[in-house]
Amino acid sequence: MNPSYLAQDPTLADFGRDPWWLVLIKIVFAFAFGLLATLLGVWFERRVVGYMQVRPGPNQVGPFGLLQTLADGLKMAFKEDILPKSADKVVYFFAPTISVICAVTALSVVPFGPMVSIFGHHTPLQVTDVPVAVLVLLACSSMGVYGIVLGGWASGSTYPLLGGLRSSAQMISYEVAMGLSIVAVFMTAGTMSTSGIVAAQGDGTQLSIFGQSIPAPGWYAILLLPSFVIFFISTVGETNRAPFDLPEAESELVAGFMTEYSSLKFALFMLSEYVAMVTMSAVTTTLFLGGWRAPWPITIWEGANSGWWPMLWFFGKVIALVFVFVWLRGTLPRLRYDQFMRFGWKVLLPINLVWILVLSGLRSIEDFAPRDRLIWTSIGAGALLLVMLLWPTRKPQPKPTAQEQADSRPYGSFPLPPMDLQVPPSPRITRVVAEREPATIVAGSDSREV
């Protein structure tokens, strides 16, 4: 069974026609997906990191430890809810919910699949879509930082405030790079609708190379490789995940903006981080990995992109991206804050600006057909990455010796002990050695005759 309407991509005209109960089912499904993916994501991360560190992860509560996250949630619920005396009670209470709501809201414009039949109604597997759905995604990712900033400020403590300020600076730095990456996507797709972007990554494009017609790689992760790399790095920074988890750096800020939170409010902050990770993985899949479309060679099967099968490909891509998030946490150390900010402003932003300029120039050349532009866009992306890898780096300067460091200190600074200072032998050790074994010890000399 492969009706023609199920093989078609949904358009903006297909939205807004569903009955209220069908819209409610879609909303509940999107919320359940975010919640269940978060619960399983916590378990998945602990198991994968445990495997990387050659130790068992959670394996006692439920089969394979699947219920461990639920047990931890119940444990948090029964813990004492402590309210700091100097906290702003209203803002302190609502700050965790802001982060969770913003992360879940972004799933409303993410397409989970093509047109399907639900109780006799032909409807797309997407809550809704608008002509500026990409701006909705950017707004949700930007608003999520308000929960962190307000939570740190409302706690009435120093370390949470520093964590909130770090998060606001982090959001400003990496939101710019993320927005420029999305600019490349809707410049190529010609639309800001998420369903339209998925449709633009279809397999219908043909390229002519040396007179041979071959299928074009439709995923923007291939055609817009620099944008894909920069966007994913920005999502790691936006979601406060390692190695960019600086707003909650335990070694510097105790627990960052969550220091004064406990019980269910702390659980909401932790939940919002994992919901944001799953949501941004779904957004990355939609914008760069073809959305719900099957990867090659599954596309050889004619029914791969019709019916309910595309949901399987979509979930598989999301799980793969979540694994990359976990892989980064288990592999890379945390950056210093100055390194992190320098990387965003001096590396990601200039590369993105140059790439957008190159992409705009390729699209403005009228002598090339659209299929040839795709080839030159891929060549330009590969050349740019090659230049980045082969760019000569400055040779590290030899580290000065201790004496050179001491000589370079300005006159009148804190005095330094002489570099050749010799510590005299301990009188107690000398006496003990003399009592145990008769020996001749020359005082004040390094040579001892035992």
Residues 310-328 have pLDDT tens digits of 999 999 999 999 999 999 9
Burial (CB count <10 Å: 0-12, 13-18, 19+), residue 139: middle
- CB 223, CB 381: distance < 8 Å: yes
Q: Distance between terminal CA atoms of the chain?
A: 97
Positive or negative CA dihedral for 388, 389, 395, 396? positive
- CA dist., res. 334 & res. 311, Å (int): 35
pLDDT at 118 over 60: yes
pLDDT of the residue at 3: 44
Residue 36: CA count within 13 A, CB half-sphere: 7
Q: For the residues 74-82, what does the mean pLDDT come to?
A: 86
- CA dist., res. 220 & res. 182, Å (int): 11
The helix/strand/coil state of 386 is: helix
pLDDT of the residue at 319: 94
Report which of residues 198 and 372 the model is more confident about: 198
pLDDT at 124 over 50: yes
- CA dist., res. 370 & res. 372, Å (int): 5
Report which of residues 338 and 431 the model is more confident about: 338
* pLDDT tens digits along 209-248: 445 554 555 788 888 888 898 999 999 988 888 788 877 7
Q: Which of 22-31, 111-120, 176-185, 367-376 has the lowest mean pLDDT?
A: 367-376
- Cα 429 to chain centroid distance, Å, stands at 58
- CA dist., res. 184 & res. 359, Å (int): 8
What secondary structure, in 3-state letters, does 192-243 show? CCHHHHHHHCCCCCEEEECCEEEECCCCHHHHCHHHHHHHHHHHHHHCCCCC
Share of the chain above pLDDT 90, in %: 16
- CB 234, CB 287: distance < 8 Å: no
pLDDT of the residue at 154: 87
Q: Which of 56-60, 255-259, 294-298, 348-352 has the lowest mean pLDDT?
A: 255-259
pLDDT of the residue at 367: 54
pLDDT of the residue at 376: 64
Tokens of 38: 């978060």
pLDDT of the residue at 281: 93
Q: Which of 13-17, 268-272, 412-416 has the lowest mean pLDDT?
A: 412-416
pLDDT of the residue at 384: 67
pLDDT of the residue at 321: 94
Helix (H) / strand (E) containing 121:
strand 121-125
Helix then strand then coil, % of the chain, to nearest 5: 60, 5, 35
Confidence of residue 447 (pLDDT cuts 50, 70, 90): very low
* pLDDT tens digits along 398-445: 777 766 766 766 655 555 555 555 666 667 766 766 776 654 444 444
Q: For the residues 185-195, what does the mean pLDDT come to?
A: 88
pLDDT of the residue at 410: 62
Q: What is the DSSP letter of 12?
A: G
- CB 28, CB 147: distance < 8 Å: no
pTM of the shown model: 0.79
